[in-house]
Amino acid sequence: MKQKKARGQLIVLSGPSGVGKSTVISELLSERSDIYFSVSFTTRAPRVGEADGVNYHFVTREQFEEMIARNDLLEYAEYVHNYYGTSLRLIQEKLEQGIDVLLDIEVQGAAKVKTRCPEAVLIFIVPPSFEELSRRLHGRATDLEEVIQGRLTKAREEYQEIPNYDYLVVNDKVSEAAAEIIAILTAEDCRTNNRLHLVEGI
Ligand code: 5GP
């Protein structure tokens, strides 16, 4: 049986647009339903099929700036002209209850989390190759070539941050990528620091 932890693990997942991160996250959460997925706040408009409070909390720029001023956010970043941020209170409550919390955030936010919470585990997801990323982005027939090129440029910038991550997962097959993340989380749980209470008093 899984040991109840004194404090949950903060898990940060980043990866370029088009890598299939949401699919990997869905697969991961279906296997590990005990993980709490942090729903971020954003000023971008909802996409078709997205619901408020499920994919994001959709807010105005003014509301977001109030949250910044009140120090409500663990981290936030401006990404392609919109704000994205993580509520500090919501995730703190879960971590204190011993629940693992998953953040799907971009590289600037991930760096801020690492500074504020050095115990967080940072995982970066890449496609098998850059050519494959380009293929996947072109496969979403809805986007203009200009938008796709912008995403590929952004991805190149994001790749520069990979050395700051603890783990690198290649999303070739979704089930395998999710299995690798589960293996990482199992290893993190087994860290001596998380288990010392099991051998106390001997
Ligand atoms: P999208 O608009 O495609 O949903 O997300 C764009 C980027 O924002 C993705 O890389 C996603 O990981 C990132 N993102 C989502 N929520 C947050 C957040 O709360 N903070 C930060 N820093 N990035 C986020």
Nearest Cα residue to atom 11 of ligand 1: 105
Q: How far is the CA of 189 from the centre of ligand 1 (A)?
A: 26
Residue 62's pLDDT is what?
A: 98
Residues of the chain with pLDDT under 50: none
Residue 141's pLDDT is what?
A: 67
Residue 2's pLDDT is what?
A: 57
Q: Which atom number of ligand 1 is nearest to the Cα of residue 77?
A: 22
Q: What is the DSSP string of 93-140?
A: HHHHTT--EEEE--HHHHHHHHHH-TT-EEEEEE-S-HHHHHHHHHHS
Nearest Cα residue to atom 23 of ligand 1: 105
CA 155 to chain centre: 16
Residue 196's pLDDT is what?
A: 87
Residue 38's pLDDT is what?
A: 97
- Kindly report, residue by residue over 11-28, the tens digit of the pLDDT: 999 999 999 999 999 999
Q: How far is the CA of 106 from the centre of ligand 1 (A)?
A: 5
